[in-house]
């Protein structure tokens, strides 16, 4: 019997909620740097969530993913903002009343200024936050993401030699050595695994049927390269061994600069790919395949579904396009390589790695045009892969399109090359922030309506129905 797939859309707090100076998060501070575009009003989702929920329901969606602003909920250590919690409860209930399952992310790339991800106390702090959220929202939410794209957070502590600045907050001091950067990454990885464990435990205590997971960002690289990277990651036996990976990525030398000038992207590709950072380290850890100093034994298998984000990939023998995958990580999405075949490979891979867990494509989507492929065609190609996988027996619980509207794309200027929205919003020039349907919105509506695997709408406003 084929699994029933929830088709959904998503938003994220920092990218869609207007900035409130009472509750700045780490990214608000980061966006004060030169060259960053602050979120400003964003799409004003805080006040206009009902409109976006209606749009999603109109597409035929049965899932709507949001994220919570930890900075709003806990503006000071141990002090929780009931007004914010009440607001998010209203959002969740509006989603359910519209016939959709809410999927709630606890930490989507941002955190309060009083939080330090490297602090040994971070998992306990995350536990306390998750416990408060579970008490307030647990009755209305079944699907949870603990940490959005944990694999990307390392780039707030590692600066590859070809970059002039850290890609995301918080960043280390300018004189941090490659060893110090990788040591910070190791501490971060361990803390993220521990925080995920703590959040899952408390969410399951409040609802034993809660479905809790995370969504690492996965690049679509050839299988043989992925296997090699994973093999190297599995073989790491000590902190010193892990730190050695930083030398090729973070240590900037005259020779590397010269080779970069001479050979273009090849030196950075050869520097990055052999390291643990390019491996699928999050899911390898949860599968029990990493050393316990990275993923402690009691953090293994702390998941109820296999979540992942997939956007871009290259064909098996098109290695010359790997540099465009790395460029996409820097926000050059319009040139990112599009290949839906990598999504098929990932679904097969995770079915084999976690045979008893459902799979959730937590994010998939495109800017207006990437690699010459329109967003509408991109959705057709990737959803076809999902349908074919389900027909072959792969247990896919949900496919969530990023995103319902235009959003602020992490400090980048807003334009066609950074706009993932099914509904376009002119964030900089339209004071009314009108939601304008793009051709991809109608395509997504048609694909959902035609899907033989789509899940039925939840049957009860009090408790959403389980898929399948």
What are the start-end ranges of the E strands in 167-289? 211-215, 217-220
Q: Which residue has the higher pLDDT, 271 or 131?
A: 131
> What angle separates helix 375-391 from helix 341-353, to the nearest 10 degrees?
40
Whether 308 is covered by a domain: the verdict is yes
Spatial separation of the C-alpha atoms in residues 282 and 290, rounded to whole Å? 9
State mean pLDDT over 82-87: 99
Whether 155 is covered by a domain: the verdict is yes
* 411 confidence band (pLDDT: 50, 70, 90): very high
pLDDT at 255: 41
State mean pLDDT over 382-389: 98
Q: Which residue has the higher pLDDT, 33 or 241?
A: 33
Mean pLDDT across the chain, nearest whole number?
A: 91
Q: What is the share, in percent, of the chain residues with pLDDT greater than 70?
A: 90
Number of domains present in the structure of the chain = 1
State mean pLDDT over 139-151: 98
CATH assignment of the domain containing 156: 3.20.20.80
pLDDT over 60 at 463, yes or no = no
pLDDT at 276: 63
pLDDT over 90 at 44, yes or no = yes
* 288 confidence band (pLDDT: 50, 70, 90): very high
* 245 confidence band (pLDDT: 50, 70, 90): low
CB 46, CB 436: distance < 8 Å: no
pLDDT at 258: 41
pLDDT over 80 at 262, yes or no = no
Whether 458 is covered by a domain: the verdict is no
Q: Which structural domain range is residue 159 located in?
A: 6-450
Indicate yes or no: pTM above 0.85. Answer: yes
Q: Which residue has the higher pLDDT, 368 or 230?
A: 368
Whether 466 is covered by a domain: the verdict is no
Name which of 69-73, 112-116, 261-265, 274-278 the model is least confident about: 261-265
Q: Which residue has the higher pLDDT, 2 or 183?
A: 183
Whether 130 is covered by a domain: the verdict is yes
pLDDT at 462: 42
Whether 94 is covered by a domain: the verdict is yes
pLDDT at 160: 78
Spatial separation of the C-alpha atoms in residues 413 and 74, rounded to whole Å? 29
Whether 432 is covered by a domain: the verdict is yes
State mean pLDDT over 300-327: 90
Name which of 108-122, 147-161, 192-206 the model is least confident about: 147-161
Whether 287 is covered by a domain: the verdict is yes
State mean pLDDT over 168-180: 90
């Amino acid at each position: 019997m084929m699994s029933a797939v929830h088709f959904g859309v998503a938003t994220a707090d920092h990218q869609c909620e207007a900035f409130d100076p009472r509750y700045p998060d780490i990214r608000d501070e980061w966006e004060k740097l030169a060259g960053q575009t602050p979120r400003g009003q964003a799409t004003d989702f805080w006040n206009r969530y009902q409109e976006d929920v209606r749009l999603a329901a109109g597409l035929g969606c049965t899932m709507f993913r949001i994220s919570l602003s930890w900075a709003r909920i806990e503006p000071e250590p141990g002090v929780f903002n009931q007004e914010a919690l009440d607001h998010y409860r209203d959002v969740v209930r509006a989603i359910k009343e519209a016939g959709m399952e809410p999927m709630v992310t606890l930490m989507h790339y941002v955190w309060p200024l009083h939080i330090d991800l490297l602090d040994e106390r971070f998992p306990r702090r995350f536990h306390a936050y998750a416990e408060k959220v579970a008490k307030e929202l647990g009755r209305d939410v079944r699907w949870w993401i603990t940490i959005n794209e944990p694999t990307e957070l390392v780039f707030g502590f590692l600066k590859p030699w070809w970059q002039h600045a850290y890609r995301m907050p918080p960043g280390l001091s300018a004189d941090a050595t490659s060893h110090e950067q990788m040591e910070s990454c190791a501490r971060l990885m361990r803390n993220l695994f521990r925080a995920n464990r703590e959040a899952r435990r408390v969410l399951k205590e409040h609802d034993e049927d809660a479905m809790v997971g995370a969504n690492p960002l996965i690049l679509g690289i050839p299988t043989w390269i992925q296997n090699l990277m994973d093999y190297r990651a599995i073989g790491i036996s000590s902190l010193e061994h892990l730190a050695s990976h930083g030398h090729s990525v973070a240590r900037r030398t005259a020779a590397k600069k010269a080779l970069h000038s001479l050979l273009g992207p090849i030196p950075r590709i050869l520097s990055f790919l052999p390291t643990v950072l390019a491996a699928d380290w999050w899911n390898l850890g949860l599968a029990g395949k990493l050393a316990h100093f990275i993923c402690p034994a009691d953090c293994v298998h702390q998941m109820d579904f296999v979540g992942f984000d997939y956007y871009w990939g290259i064909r098996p023998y098109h290695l010359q396009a790997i540099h465009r995958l790395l460029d996409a990580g820097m926000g050059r999405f319009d040139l990112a390589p599009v290949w839906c075949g990598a999504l098929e490979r990932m679904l097969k891979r995770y079915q084999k790695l976690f045979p008893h867990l459902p799979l959730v494509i937590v994010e998939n989507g495109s800017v207006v045009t990437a690699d010459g492929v329109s967003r509408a065609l991109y959705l057709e190609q990737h959803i076809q892969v999902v349908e074919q996988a389900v027909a072959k027996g792969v247990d896919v619980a949900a496919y969530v399109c990023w995103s319902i509207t235009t959003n602020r794309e992490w400090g980048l200027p807003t334009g066609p090359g950074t706009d993932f929205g099914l509904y376009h919003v002119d964030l900089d020039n339209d004071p009314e922030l009108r939601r304008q349907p793009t051709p991809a919105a109608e395509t997504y509506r048609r694909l959902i309506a035609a899907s033989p695997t789509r899940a039925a709408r939840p049957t009860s406003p009090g408790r959403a129905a389980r898929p399948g």
